[in-house]
Structure 1
Amino acid sequence: MEPLSRVRVAVLAAIVGAVAWGVTVTAVNSGASPMAVPWTVAAIAVGVGLVALWLGWGVRQYRRGKNPGLSGLRAARTAVFAQACAYTGSILAGAFAGYGLAIALEWSHAPRREVAISALIAALGGLAMVVAALIAEHWCKDDSSSSDEGGKAPQTTP
């Protein structure tokens, strides 16, 4: 499995943000009323990020020899879950940031300001999800520099 690329995650967020910004500006200029983003979006994103951290912590403990009962399949699933969370959080962060920034163009209008703030809070929730997923994925990676043999992975013979 290929490790996460922070650049890829950031580029995905930027592309989705640009598209969301363009669609929102077009819709608002056509007369559509923007809708507030529910606070549950940010709460659920943070919650999913915490689940990724919790699962990643178990894998980290396993890799340090403190949780020998963990299966390799669960560790692999945790790494895949962390990557999925990173990409999903990136999409959420980009989409809500683009939406919020497009609405924030009319900051002096109080109802639109509230919509922009709710969207930016949701974007922060997506960003928290990305950060948590990157940490969890890092805990799942096999970095041979942490082994006891001076940076070399242990050798096994058949």
Structure 2
Amino acid sequence: MRTIRPAWLVVATVVLGVAGWTTTELTSRASLPLPVLPFSSLATMGLIVVVCLILGFKVRHWRDGHRDRVLDPLVAARTLVLAQACAYAGAVLLGWHLGILVDQLDTIPL
């Protein structure tokens, strides 16, 4: 298993930012609603992040020498995969919504 590369997260954010901006431009020209996620998806992502943090702290606690119980290696591997998936999902969602925000900045009255 490889470590996550921050450059890939930045690339995903930039690519999805451009895609979000382009999509918002096209939908606004066609008088369609903005393609944003509902607030329930934010709550769901937050819940997944909390679960990932709890599992990550358990693995870190075991790694730091508190080995009173046996840690299942499969749980540790799944925790790593979940953390990496959360990082990529966060980068994708951040990029998409930053692209929408950049497109909508000119509609904000100053």
Q: TM-score range by the shorter chain?
A: 0.7 to 0.9
Distance in 2 between the 1:58 and 1:37 partners? 31
**Residue aligning to 2:41:** 41
**Residue aligning to 1:99:** 100
What's the TM-score once normalised by structure 1's chain length?
0.62
Higher relative contact order (CA 8 A, sep 6+): 2
Does structure 2 retain, via aligned residues, the 8 Å contact 1:12–1:91?
yes
Cα displacement string for residues 51-104 of structure 1 (whole angstroms, at most 9, x for unaligned residues): 111110010011122143211111111111111111111111111221222223
Q: Which runs of 5+ in 1 are unaligned?
A: 109-158
Q: How many positions carry a matched residue from both structures?
A: 108
Of structures 1 and 2, the larger Rg is shown by 1
**Residue aligning to 1:72:** 73
Query: Could you list the runs of 4 or more consecutive aligned residues of structure 1 that deviate by over 3 angstroms after TM superposition?
Result: none
Distance in 1 between the 2:49 and 2:106 partners? 30
User: What is the CA distance between 1:35 and its match in structure 2?
Assistant: 6.2
Let me know the Cα RMSD of the aligned residues: 1.7
What's the TM-score once normalised by structure 2's chain length?
0.86
Cα displacement string for residues 87-129 of structure 1 (whole angstroms, at most 9, x for unaligned residues): 1111111112212222232113xxxxxxxxxxxxxxxxxxxxx
Seq. identity, %: 30
Matched to 1:63, the amino acid is: R
Does structure 2 retain, via aligned residues, the 8 Å contact 1:13–1:90?
yes
**Residue aligning to 2:87:** 86
Matched to 1:5, the amino acid is: R
User: What is the CA distance between 1:12 and its match in structure 2?
Assistant: 0.5
